[in-house]
Amino acid sequence: MQTDELVQQLIALPLPDRVTVAQALWESIDEGLATDVADEQRDAIQAAVRRDDELSSGSVVGRSHEEVMQAVRQALKCG
């Protein structure tokens, strides 16, 4: 069966059945991505916690918005 034919048959289903199929498909996609996304989220959270610890302990000093913007302008040589 071709994908187009299958799609047409699925579209012809009553709404509750289409919702069930859509949810099952979405969950199958989500499961395939869950590991990669979970790893990326875990890494991002760990980096944020580490950065917060560095700032809180004083081992690094943050910069103000104006300092960051000034550095960007200098780097881009536009101000």
Q: Would you say residue 62 has pLDDT above 70?
A: yes
Rounded to an integer, the average pLDDT of 34-44 is 77
DSSP letter for 61, please.
-
- Of 65 and 34, the structure prediction assigns the larger pLDDT to 65
What's the domain range around 72? 3-76
How many domains in the chain?
Answer: 1
DSSP letter for 57, please.
H
How far is 9 from 1, CA to CA, in rounded Å?
11
Whether residue 62 contacts residue 55, with contact meaning beta carbons closer than 8 Å, is answered with yes
How far is 64 from 71, CA to CA, in rounded Å?
11
Rounded to an integer, the average pLDDT of 42-53 is 90
pLDDT given at position 34? 62
Rounded percentage of the chain residues whose pLDDT exceeds 70? 89
How far is 27 from 25, CA to CA, in rounded Å?
5
What pTM did the predictor assign? 0.43
Q: Would you say residue 33 has pLDDT above 70?
A: no
